Structure 1
Amino acid sequence: MARAIHVFRTPDRFVAGTVGQPGNRTFYLQAVHDKRVVSVILEKQQVAVLAERIAALLLEINRRFGTPIPPETADVDDLSPLVTPVDAEFRVGTMGLGWDSEAQTVVVELLAVSETEFDASVVLDDAEEGPDAVRVFLTPESARQFAARSNRVISAGRPPCPLCDEPLDPEGHICVRTNGYLRGEIAGSDDDADE
């Protein structure tokens, strides 16, 4: 069966988003153009890496080619939720990132997890064989907005433990830095003083 490559040359929207509560969130990337919506599922770390690499790519484009790039910002224009229902086309395994100098766009390619080995040359290529893919072309402004929103989505989860940086659960946290003991048990709990 031939692979499906979903191409968005001028997306109306390309965003990271989640479904679920912090600690039990599922991460998605969603590309939208007119009434066409394609969503893929991926890990939180993949979203973080993609946002980080896009920021680095924009700096490199500016350094190498003198292409003007928008400044880094924490402001996000699009804070709307994902288009529902969110039906994932596939789970992302491999991600590709490039620069189309003719179109002056950042190219993001998301490839499906595949049980069969494939050559890295299928990334950003229209080869007949290989995993399904979503390919999105973003202006530098859209790429910067994608990275800013992605960082916001990532940080909206559970706060990190101040000792070990692992996420804190509302039910409690077994911290590796305290050898599994709760912090109050080591330093003495304030509750003990009232007895």
Structure 2
Amino acid sequence: MPVFDYDPPERFVAGAMGQPGARVFYLQARAEGRLTTVALEKLQVAALAGKLDELLDDVLRRSGGTAQVPAMAPADLTDNAPLDQPVTEEFRVGTMALAWDQDTAQVVIEAQEITDEEDLGAPEPAMLRVRISAGMARAFTQRALRLVAAGRPPCPLCGQPLDPEGHICVRLNGYRGGEEAT
């Protein structure tokens, strides 16, 4: 099982390539000339960002405000640059885990390769493990939430993404602007 370990990375971001509706989402870590890129679903990016914020808020609350956890992303850690090139997918993410390391005051993020649970003879899945500061985690979350929100706008009636070529809304019983959908 290859473990791509970054403690800490110089850069850790979520990014996407492609047009809204056909984007591929990635996590990317870089340090000391190494670059690791893993693919995941848009919902996984959103879930990771949400859970990271929850984890940091919980650490701050439990410490009574004494933990070195910023409430907002520090401006100097904001990263709006595109993904590093080349974007070469190491694996597709199946499960993710988050933890707070009290001793180092770091967030630990593990993204494990998706596996076929029925294949008992398969090798151990690959893993990306990243240890980042609370400030870097807040900056990651901020970028990830912007990335997810930059997709197709939602239909005001049903909430499903609107496509440029049209949208069949379930709330309109399959009608599209007065015409029945085929």
Aligned to 1:152, the other structure's residue is in SS state helix
Please state whether the residue corresponding to 2:175 is helix, strand or coil: coil
Structure 2 unpaired stretches of 5+: none
- When the two structures are superposed, what TM-score results if normalisation uses the length of structure 2? 0.89
Q: CA deviation at 1:164?
A: 0.8
Q: Tell me which residue corresponds to 2:70.
A: 70
Deviation at 1:166, TM superposition (A): 0.6
CA spacing shift, 1:115–1:102, aligned 2, 3 Å: same
- From 134, 157, 164, give the equivalent of 2:158: 164
**Stretches of 4+ aligned residues off by more than 6 angstroms:** none
SS at the partner of 1:174?
coil
Tell me, in whole angstroms, the C-alpha distance in 2 between the residues paired with 1:32 and 1:59: 26
**Equivalent residue number for residue 191 of structure 1:** none
Quote the Cα distance in structure 1 between the aligned partners of 2:15 and 2:131. Answer: 19
Distance 1:117 1:6, change over 3 A: farther
Contact persistence 1:74–1:148 (CA under 8 A): no
Flag the 1:166–1:73 CA change in 2: closer, same or farther, 3 A.
farther
2:140 to 132, 146, 149: 146
Q: How many residues align?
A: 173
Change (3 A) 1:74 1:26: farther
* Gap runs ≥5 in structure 1: 119-128, 187-195
Query: Does the residue aligned with 2:117 lie in a helix, a strand or coil?
Result: coil
SS in structure 1 at match of 2:178: helix
Cα contact 1:94–1:110 (8 A) shared by 2 = yes
**1:2-21 map, 5 Å:** 3-21=1-19
Residue 115 of structure 2 is matched in structure 1 by: 114
RMSD: 1.9
TM-score by length of 1: 0.84
1:19-61 deviation digits (Å, cap 9, x = unpaired):
1011110000000113110000000000000000000000111
Max Rg structure: 1
Identity %: 47
Residues 83-124 of structure 1 deviation map (CA, whole Å, 9 limit, x = unaligned): 111111100001000011111000000000111379xxxxxx
Shift in Å, 1:64: 1.6
Shift of 1:73: 5.4
